[in-house]
Structure 1
């Protein structure tokens, strides 16, 4: 064999694994999670659930977590930056505004959304069964669960008149407020909206002086509210106002009551959608999933601290009671 040919063969043998490795790295899917705020539990859940499906970070998947530090208005610019950088093969959008921002930034990169507002009403999907375009996900919004939270407050507070509903820029639209307003009025409540325009203003907006005008509070599912759970629970506690939340974590951390979807189950459904997309499914062909598990949780210690005696009919329906 000629010396030049032999050297070429050896060089090729050495370089081939490097080329194959580079090709393997290039083929590693890149998933970017976009949201209005960092929620460590959500980040950990994404990593854990993907790992359970065989996606090992740094080996066969690249993960990146981007947020706007509570500034919902900055989501469109961040979505455009992610698309411009070319760093995403799939975008996980936490919240409806994040999903809308991603959809505006790209019509080609698959988007899997955790939507707390009806995807059809918000314009994310043509319909839930066949969303169309480049988006699918989980629709955790349910008018029925919102109505149920207001009904539970009426059962717990039969003499109450003034009900406050708490939102942020993520959820202050008519689709989030309408069920509370309509149901509240039917049940004899005067309903007022409490909008946390900036997380830095939580202590002011939820101060005992301002909450004094309400007899009870209803919180909607909201990523920014979740990220500031400890401070919100503290302020609600100082006001001594009964409140109902959308997820059980609030009750475990000192809230009075929650009713809504099991968000751990909903996140599992979300990551299953991501898995289908990574395996080649077109987002627009995948139905928006709906949560399948709902529960009512009650913290009796908080009820006692508020001087509330909860109706036996409510306690009997609870999936968990903290005593």
Structure 2
């Protein structure tokens, strides 16, 4: 049996799909459907049971069931959240509890960290403390668990892998609203006969955009290699401008226009203007697959948005 927390969410539901493609469907999904639209992420994936996060006690569950692995993707992903107490309880304390009970029962753990731990990236994007300086409490919640884990690596008895996701985009993110990817918002702006909106100066904002299928592939690599533990960057290793997403969509929708809007004051000092993962550690671990280019990933995603509204088909 496998547990996927956040299994009704964006990356979590895609991981369930990846497991399904391997013939695995004895999966427990733990999530919160207060946002009822997330149920659509569950329609085309196979799983054994769904448990609401408020009813799920991982300590009791692992003590009474034969669980092989936990993919811990459940967390608050709102980078604009200002309630630090909520964020630390939901992201840090929950992940810490999950880690400790997995170690107690010899259950493998794969968890979602974040590239946001690197802050403005002035010191690079290498999995080292000298590079890390979170700019908001969401990033700090991820950073703090990574620090906690680093203090306990010498004592771990079962596999633990943290993946620092960079800018992930692709199907199953509809429910994220404002936090959905730029590609998602631009597509919908085109469909609403609106210009694609970019912040002024976006040609200078470059991010490491990774297609969700590649994120699943990296997770499956570590699932296949139980001897490998650590914290790894999960990005393409290549930064591109937000404008490149617009350029890709303009190839498909030739009448699409771009409108540049003022950079919001609320994001000043909290916004990563550049991210580019250093994937040396990931490559050295043995992951050798190529990553989807931003252009091909954007066009692939646009096709899915056209056919199914952005859901797994």
Q: TM-score, normalised by structure 1?
A: 0.42
Determine which structure has more spread, i.e. the larger CA radius of gyration. Answer: 1
